[in-house]
């Protein structure tokens, strides 16, 4: 009878060890799956951020180009106005501005 009990104990220990190993394998597989899922999610998020950055850059570039076009347009318009003045008139305007800038206003 002692042999039967000893045999049963060994059988139970063996079964426990086998179940423990199976649970370890399941846990390791689950961890690997969770890790792959997390890596996939990170890759998707990185791609979304790249697309978002590219769109923001494109919008910023379009805004800058529009702003630059407006500045150039104003500069061209001012140049056209200045072309209408003769040299003496421009000299008088420039001197008037210089006088306004100088401390005391005297040249």
The reported pLDDT for the residue numbered 25 is 96
Would residue 20 count as lying in a domain?
A: yes
Q: 55-91 as b/e, with b when 16 or more CB fall inside 10 Å? A: eeeeeeeeeeeeeeeeeeeeeeeeeeeeeeeeeeeee
pLDDT of 104 strictly over 80:
no
Average pLDDT over residues 6-27: 94
The reported pLDDT for the residue numbered 84 is 85
The reported pLDDT for the residue numbered 17 is 95
- Residue 99 · residue 107 · CB < 8 Å: yes
Would residue 63 count as lying in a domain?
A: yes
pLDDT of 96 strictly over 60:
yes
Would residue 71 count as lying in a domain?
A: yes
* Domain ranges, residue 18: 2-82
Higher pLDDT, 97 or 35: 35
Would residue 89 count as lying in a domain?
A: no
Would residue 87 count as lying in a domain?
A: no
Would residue 53 count as lying in a domain?
A: yes
pTM: 0.51
Number of domains the chain is built from:
1
The reported pLDDT for the residue numbered 3 is 78
Q: pLDDT digits over 42-75, tens only?
A: 999 999 999 999 999 999 999 999 999 999 999 9
Would residue 106 count as lying in a domain?
A: no
The reported pLDDT for the residue numbered 86 is 83
């Amino acid at each position: 009878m002692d042999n039967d009990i000893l045999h049963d104990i060994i059988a139970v220990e063996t079964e426990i060890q086998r179940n423990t190993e199976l649970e370890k394998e399941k846990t390791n597989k689950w961890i690997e799956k969770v890790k792959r899922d997390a890596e996939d999610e990170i890759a998707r998020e990185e791609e979304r951020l790249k697309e978002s950055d590219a769109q923001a850059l494109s919008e910023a570039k379009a805004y800058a180009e529009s702003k630059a076009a407006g500045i150039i347009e104003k500069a061209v318009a001012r140049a056209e106005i200045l072309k209408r003045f003769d040299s003496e008139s421009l000299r008088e305007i420039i001197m008037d501005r210089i006088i306004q800038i100088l401390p005391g206003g005297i040249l």
